[in-house]
């Protein structure tokens, strides 16, 4: 077998174990695994003393998203460069219809955002924001290669909110088509009530951004997850709870899975490493995201949920806003564009705070960042594995050498970072996407626009990746 590239002598990480060896790559594909592979005339990439991981899939990303009166500041150029630097080789964004627009229009709009700009491969979850209008369009989107759909239980003012009728009806269709519904679970009416009770000039003057913490107690998420789970249980439709942030949520998912409900959950890395005391900082408004950051007990429960299996995936919910954009709040916490930068630091944070602090093994990290997201989202066996026949999407990281998080030196368009000053290991020394080196010696070298859209079929969707 003639190779174009051989990755030599690294610690190759798979979900079932690590071994020291070589990876042979021909064109875009992994064609051999072994030791002392004959490189012939191939380019040899020395990985000795490094971990060699399957490229990371960040399956919850918003690039150039119009939201809360702003447009999120990482687009497909900066966002995917940031991802590559953090070993991310595939992302899934959310195509959200404009008011009155169709699902197909939303997909077209998102294709146009990505084409010519994306450095890495991508696809979209299709958001259902108007059940009556969209329900008959879902099958057409499945036929176009979109197999995951999304509903928001909040964001009425954005025109995105779905009610129980929509969730119930969509889950029935998910069951019929063999597709999956992702849900942003927060209890809108009680949340509206808590916000209304606190939205007074006197309280805003007194508490500022702390009102974000005060108006989103854990039951806001827990009640909504419970309700979405009830509709999944009633219909048998596959459900996936996005960005789960609470201990209560993890308990509900665990119990539901134990009685056979087809529900999976992801958390985001910020819910594992940041606590809600950040809202006490003078720049606390920068940290407003939705759901909001929670308490150490929640963080601890989510880490345990990753280990035990009820939390299947770690993603980022990247939705970057600059300091200027965040400044739009002017003292009213309901006007802060919500979201955090994330793609660049997903792997470094998970590796440094998870693996190096012994909260998870390398193999478990591989499952939560690569294997499970690829399987759950219908991208396996092409993505998410170091295996013969898979795309040669690979991240090579040094086990211990750290870099300080400094926004000025990062690829993201954010001019701040929630992790500023943190010393993190796990930035990619080398990233390969479909056999091409796109990060070399920690610097992005790949060509803008080379990333490809990934069509999916329902045959690829595996709903049981809980380990």
CA 124 to chain centre: 12
Q: Does 185 bind ligand URP (CB under 6 A)?
A: no
Instruction: Look up residue 130 and give its two tokens.
Output: 């108007």
Can residue 184 be called a binding residue for ligand URP (CB under 6 A)? yes
Verify binding: residue 183, ligand URP, rule CB under 6 A: no
Q: Is 103 in the site for ligand URP (CB under 6 A)?
A: no
Q: In sequence order, what E strands does 369-415 have?
A: 394-397, 402-404
Residue number, 22 or 151, with CB nearest to ligand URP: 151
Query: Is the distance from CB of 246 to CB of 294 less than 8 angstroms?
Result: yes
CB 243 → Zn ion: shortest distance, Å?
6
Closest distance of CB 444 from ligand URP, Å:
25
What are the residues whose beta carbons fall under 8 Å from the beta carbon of 355, sequence distance 6 or more?
361, 362, 365
Q: Is 49 left (phi over 0), alpha (psi -120 to 50) or beta?
A: left
Among 151, 317, 393, 436, binds Zn ion (CB under 5 A): 317
Closest to Zn ion by CB, 244 or 432: 244
Which residue number, 252 or 289, has a Cβ lying nearer to ligand URP?
A: 289
Distance CA 397, CA 360 (A): 17
Q: Smallest gap, in angstroms, from Cβ of residue 318 to ligand URP?
A: 9
Shortest distance (Å) from residue 242 CB to Zn ion: 6
- Kindly state whether residue 454 participates in binding ligand URP, applying the rule CB under 6 A: no
Cα dist. 72→63, 68, 287, 325, 364 in Å? 6, 10, 14, 9, 31
Please answer whether residues 444 and 79 qualify as being in contact, where contact means their C-beta atoms are separated by less than 8 angstroms.
no
418 binds ligand URP (CB under 6 A): no
Sign of the alpha-carbon torsion through 33, 36, 40, 45 = positive
Please choose which of Zn ion, ligand URP, none residue 379 contacts, taking the beta carbon within 5 to 8 angstroms, the exact cut-off set by kind: none
Quote the Cα angle for 23-24-28, to 5°. Answer: 110
Which 305-324 residues touch ligand URP, going by CB under 6 A? 317, 319
As measured in angstroms, the least distance from the Cβ of 62 to Zn ion is 5
Give the interface with ligand URP as residue ranges (CB under 6 A).
62, 184, 289-290, 317, 319, 338-339
Give the interface with Zn ion as residue ranges (CB under 5 A).
184, 317
């Amino acid at each position: 077998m003639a190779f174009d590239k051989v990755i030599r002598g690294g610690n190759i990480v798979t979900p079932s174990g690590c071994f020291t060896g070589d990876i042979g790559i021909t064109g875009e594909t992994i064609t051999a695994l072994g030791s002392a592979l004959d490189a012939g005339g191939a380019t040899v990439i020395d990985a000795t003393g490094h971990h060699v991981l399957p490229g990371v899939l960040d399956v919850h990303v918003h690039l150039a998203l119009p939201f809360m009166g702003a447009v999120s500041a990482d687009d497909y150029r900066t966002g995917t460069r940031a991802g590559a630097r953090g070993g991310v080789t595939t992302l899934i964004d959310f195509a959200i219809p404009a008011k009155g627009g169709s699902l197909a229009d939303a997909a077209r709009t998102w294709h146009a955002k990505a084409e010519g700009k994306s450095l890495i491969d991508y696809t979209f979850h299709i958001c259902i924001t108007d059940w009556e209008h969209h329900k008959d369009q879902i099958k057409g989107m499945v036929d176009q290669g979109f197999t995951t759909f999304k509903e928001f239980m909040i964001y009425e003012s954005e025109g995105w909110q779905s009610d129980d009728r929509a969730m119930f009806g969509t889950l029935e269709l998910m069951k019929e088509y063999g597709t999956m519904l992702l849900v942003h679970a927060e209890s809108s009416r009680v949340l509206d009530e808590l916000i209304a009770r606190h939205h007074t000039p006197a309280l805003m003057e007194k508490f500022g951004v702390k009102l974000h913490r005060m108006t989103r107690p854990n039951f806001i998420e827990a009640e909504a997850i419970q309700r979405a789970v009830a509709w999944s249980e009633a219909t048998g439709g596959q459900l996936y709870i996005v960005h789960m942030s609470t201990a209560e949520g993890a308990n509900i998912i665990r119990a539901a899975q134990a009685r056979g409900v087809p529900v999976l959950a992801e958390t985001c890395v910020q819910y594992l490493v940041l606590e809600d005391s950040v809202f006490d900082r003078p720049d606390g408004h920068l940290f407003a995201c939705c759901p909001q950051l929670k308490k150490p007990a929640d963080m601890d429960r989510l880490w345990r949920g990753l280990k035990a299996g009820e939390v299947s995936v770690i993603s980022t919910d990247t939705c970057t806003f600059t300091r200027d954009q965040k400044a739009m709040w002017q003292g009213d916490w309901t006007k802060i564009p919500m979201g955090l930068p994330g793609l660049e630091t997903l792997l470094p944070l998970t590796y440094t705070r998870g693996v190096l602090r012994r909260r998870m093994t390398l193999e478990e990290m591989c499952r939560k960042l690569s294997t499970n997201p690829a399987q759950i989202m219908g991208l396996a066996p092409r993505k998410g594995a170091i295996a013969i026949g898979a795309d040669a999407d690979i991240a090579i990281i040094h086990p211990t050498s750290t870099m300080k998080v400094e926004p000025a030196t990062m690829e993201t368009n954010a001019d701040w970072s929630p992790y500023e000053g943190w010393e993190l290991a796990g930035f990619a020394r080398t990233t390969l996407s479909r056999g091409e080196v796109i990060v070399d010696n920690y610097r992005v070298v790949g060509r803008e626009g080379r990333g490809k859209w990934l069509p999916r079929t329902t045959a690829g969707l595996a709903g049981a990746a809980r380990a």
